[in-house]
Amino acid sequence: MDVVIAPTGVDVGRIAADLITATVQGSADAVLGIATGSSPLETYRELARRVADGVVDLSAVRAFALDEYVGLGSDHPESYRSVIRREVIGPLRLTADLVQTPDGDAPDLDAACARYERMIRDAGGVDIQLLGIGANGHIGFNEPLSSFSSRTRVATLTAQTRRDNARFFESLDDVPHQCVTQGIGTIMDARCLVLVADGERKAESVARMIEGPVTDTCPASALQLHPHAVVIVDESAARILTPSQRYDRRTPVSGVAR
Ligand code: F6R
């Protein structure tokens, strides 16, 4: 696992954008794994700037989102299908038909999950997967005790995750209890994983992911087993990492794809 500690969340986004830019410059129709939530927003902002400046063209990129709430229609503003349209497809000028998000209101959810797995496989697998981390160590919506070999499936959100995500809804009661999420096994099949985290709120789960044992009580610790995982965190999220470890402290070069 490569761990990069960057000065601020903006720098975290720039370094993650560097990795995605390099992947797409190597292969215009690369398959990108995309996340929702607050953590990837700086990465998307930086990518949007590069697209606007003509540094990179993402229009041939194929993309798969990690997860979706069960029971929110695709037009609900907080469904991940809406969020991906608003925050990713539009600003990054992706081609909407090439972007998939799990269908959380399919009549047969298990069949929809199996179909999603097939779509990822038929696309040749994910080249680079962007991830955030939950305060309880979840990746995607794989909550603690999820199997490391799990595939896309219906899962139940913990009370903590529902509380954490209540900020996107009018009230806690509006946050769905269930979701469809790529499994940890699905995520681990991506050729490269890039996890971004910023802020004090993530310090504990970041330390458990990087320095703790590999354990299903911290799903993100599975990244320790991946051959090509990069974790990019800001100083606040890195606060309780062991200082003696030689983590890469990087001051990113502004606006340049490296
Ligand atoms: C979202 C996702 C989740 C989030 C995590 C962190 O698609 O898969 O794992 O990455 O809950 O959320 P934020 O970034 O909002 O703190």
Options 68, 103, 143, 234, the catalytic residue: 143
65 Cβ partners below 8 Å, 6+ apart?
Answer: 33, 34, 35, 36, 80, 81, 84, 99, 100, 101, 102
Question: Contact, 4 vs 252, CB < 8 A?
Answer: no
Closest Cα to atom 9 of ligand 1: 140
pLDDT at site 255: 42
Check whether 258 has a pLDDT greater than 60: no
pLDDT digits (tens, 9 = 90+) for 161-206: 999 999 999 999 999 999 999 999 999 999 999 999 999 999 999 9
Element (H, E) at 15: helix 9-26
Question: 46, 136, 198, 234: which is the annotated catalytic residue?
Answer: 136
- Look at residue 195 and give its three-state secondary structure: strand
Residue-level pLDDT at 113? 98
pLDDT tens digits along 214-231? 999 999 999 999 999 999
pLDDT in tens, 98-107: 999 999 999 9
Q: Kindly report the protein residue whose alpha carbon is nearest to atom 15 of ligand 1.
A: 37
Q: Are 197 and 8 in contact (CB under 8 A)?
A: no
Confidence of residue 247 (pLDDT cuts 50, 70, 90): confident
Strand partners, 34: 65
Q: What is the pLDDT of residues 82-94, one digit of tens each?
A: 999 999 999 999 9
